[in-house]
A and B are shown apart, each in its own frame.
Chain A
Amino acid sequence: MKTDVCVIGGGPAGLGAVKSACENGAKVVLLEREYRLGGILNQCIHNGFGLHYFGEELTGPEFAQRLANDVVNSKAKIFLNSTVSKVEKKADKKMIVTAESPEGVLQIEAKCVVFSAGCREKPAAGINLCGTRPAGIFTAGAAQKLVNIHGKMVGKNIVILGSGDVGLIMARRLTCEGANVIGVYEIMPNCGGLARNVAQCIKDFNIPLHLSTSIVEVVGKKRVEGVYVAPVKPDFSFDLSKKEFIKCDTLLLSVGLLPETDLLNDFNLERSPVTNSYAVNEYYQTSVPEIFICGNVMHVNDLVDNVTNEGIHAGKCASQFAKGGVPCENKIEITHDSHIKYTVPKYVYRGSGELKISFRVDKEYRRVMVKAKSGGEVISQTPHPVVRAGEMEQIKLDKSKIKDDLEILLEVI
């Protein structure tokens, strides 16, 4: 089958991409491995989604359905239960996407692909967790799927390692299902999740949150019997003299997400070490021009509203690419100071119009000015009352003011 744009993954990023690529006149094929659209949102049954994008507060599934409705009613060809197993580029620059589907092997020939396969959770091995590997260790998202989609409980006395949003949300969810959540343990001195989730998931239910504390050993043969926790010193070594045993039957890990980039490994795309994904330009295009990426596979987002907007942008640019190309003269690399960990995009082209730059900072700063400098001049200043490591920030620029360089700086005021 031939198409202009092939979108891989039907979560909010992919749905945004399909919608905008269709609206911009491209022929679109969407491949999704699950039996329905919506991605991770289907298991995020809590509310708090969509305030920015839809202007009202929705639950995850409701947000997903609204996006999916637009796509189902568009001209895009949608394949469900279809897992992409290979992405290749032919000598004539055509992209060939292979997927396993109930109808057999699908081969899609596309002018470009939008890759929106989301992220996966770091497992126990990803953090060198010491001790045994009995039953009862789950990543927080796997537990979320079991409890919310399959209606199966994961345990009775539960310890959560890591204070990311998924962990905090699951602390509340499991408490509501009658479990005893003994505590959330976080290695860093600050909480990884949003302040609102600390308030409504942890404080509302009096769940203890232990900062600068981590698990040093898992104990148990068949099933988890407990964990040893210990304070973490400023140099990140454990203070084993204060080691303490916590009896529990279940351990949830909420220790970070990794972009699901494996399918693109063979392309040797330019990587972005901080995001664990690939460097992109302002069109969310990778170093292979036929490959666009967006959503959590580009960089792990905290808000689905931002994910959707990224998808919409990538879909629009991909359709423009398929129709003849995107302007790509006078490439400039965006540089930044050490307070900023990375920017998306990494590259821009001189021209006109609005440019949106997303970034993350290394720690919390109060009352800062985010400055963009080009040609020795400040071309934009955006005040932020507070910026936090756990939250993605954004600034908007007028591209016509960009000269031969672009630097993003954070100044405390």
Chain B
Amino acid sequence: MELTCIRCPIGCSLTVTKNADGTVTVTGNNCPRGAEYGRQEMLEPKRTITSVKKIKNGTISLKTNKAVPKEKYFDVLKAIKNVPEKRSYSVGGVLIKNVCGTNADVVITNINIEKF
């Protein structure tokens, strides 16, 4: 499998192969993070998801605090849309714990309310 490593802006071209004994070989990586990414991508691709939710008077920016399985991407986005409004928000606070059973939390990264 030919991949582009997304773990840093260099974007190394990786070649990932699954061996007969179930192990995975990664070549083309410039650093150990690339090997880790290649292996993960072959076995279970994961992504960190970022999004925005509308709140009263503005928006909050969000991220998953861990990479979550790629097939859960749109489930996580939907969970964010559907979660009811809270009374207050703080940067670094958790909006959804263990989102869609992924073990990752959805965390608030910014609050966008313009005050004049």
Beyond the given pairs A59-B61, A59-B109, A61-B91, 7 more chain A to chain B contacts, judged by CB atoms under 8 angstroms and listed by A's residue number, are A35-B115, A51-B8, A147-B52, A176-B51, A194-B11, A196-B9, A199-B3
Measured in the bound complex, the distance between the Cα atoms of B47 and A57 in whole Å is 13
Distance to closest chain A CB from B79 (angstroms): 13
Q: Which of B8, B47, B58, B110 contacts A61 (CB 8 A)?
A: B110
The answer to the question of B54 belonging to the interface, with a C-beta cut-off of 8 Å to chain A, is yes
Measured in the bound complex, the distance between the Cα atoms of B9 and A47 in whole Å is 11
Contacts of A42 in B (CB 8 A): 110, 112
Is A47 a contact partner of B50 (Cβ separation < 8 A)? yes
Query: Contacts A62-B109, A195-B4, A302-B9 given: A35-B116 contact, CB under 8 Å?
Result: yes
Is A199 a contact partner of B11 (Cβ separation < 8 A)? yes
Contact string against B for A residues 76-120, beta-carbon threshold 8 Å, 1 for contact and 0 otherwise: 000001000000000000000000000000000000000000000
Is A194 a contact partner of B9 (Cβ separation < 8 A)? yes
Distance to closest chain B CB from A154 (angstroms): 13
15 A-B pairs in the complex with CB atoms less than 8 angstroms apart: A45-B62, A45-B109, A46-B50, A51-B8, A57-B48, A148-B59, A148-B61, A150-B59, A176-B51, A194-B11, A195-B11, A195-B13, A196-B7, A199-B6, A302-B9
Contact string against B for A residues 246-261, beta-carbon threshold 8 Å, 1 for contact and 0 otherwise: 0000000000000000
Distance to closest chain B CB from A357 (angstroms): 19
Query: What is the predominant secondary structure among interface residues of chain A facing chain B?
Result: mixed
The answer to the question of A65 belonging to the interface, with a C-beta cut-off of 8 Å to chain B, is yes
Is A149 a contact partner of B91 (Cβ separation < 8 A)? no
Contact count band on A = 20 to 34
Interface size on B, residues (CB 8 A): 33
Contact string against B for A residues 35-75, beta-carbon threshold 8 Å, 1 for contact and 0 otherwise: 10000001001111001000001010110010000000000
Contacts of A368 in B (CB 8 A): none
Measured in the bound complex, the distance between the Cα atoms of B91 and A48 in whole Å is 18
| Total CB contacts across the A-B interface at under 8 A | 78
Distance to closest chain B CB from A372 (angstroms): 22
The answer to the question of A324 belonging to the interface, with a C-beta cut-off of 8 Å to chain B, is no
Distance to closest chain B CB from A23 (angstroms): 25
The answer to the question of A352 belonging to the interface, with a C-beta cut-off of 8 Å to chain B, is no
Is A151 a contact partner of B58 (Cβ separation < 8 A)? yes
Measured in the bound complex, the distance between the Cα atoms of B9 and A196 in whole Å is 7
Is B54 a contact partner of A151 (Cβ separation < 8 A)? yes
Count chain B CB atoms within 10 A of each CB in A57, A81, A303 and give the residue with the most.
A57
Contacts of B7 in A (CB 8 A): 196
Smallest CB gap from B115: residue in A = A35
Contacts of B11 in A (CB 8 A): 194-196, 199
The answer to the question of B39 belonging to the interface, with a C-beta cut-off of 8 Å to chain A, is no
The answer to the question of A206 belonging to the interface, with a C-beta cut-off of 8 Å to chain B, is no
Count chain A CB atoms within 10 A of each CB in B59, B110, B116 and give the residue with the most.
B110
Contact string against B for A residues 182-202, beta-carbon threshold 8 Å, 1 for contact and 0 otherwise: 000000000000111011100
The answer to the question of A235 belonging to the interface, with a C-beta cut-off of 8 Å to chain B, is no
Is A385 a contact partner of B30 (Cβ separation < 8 A)? yes
Smallest CB gap from A200: residue in B = B6
Measured in the bound complex, the distance between the Cα atoms of B48 and A46 in whole Å is 9
List 9 tightest A-B contacts by C-beta distance, closest first: A195-B11, A61-B110, A199-B4, A151-B54, A196-B6, A45-B61, A151-B59, A196-B11, A195-B4
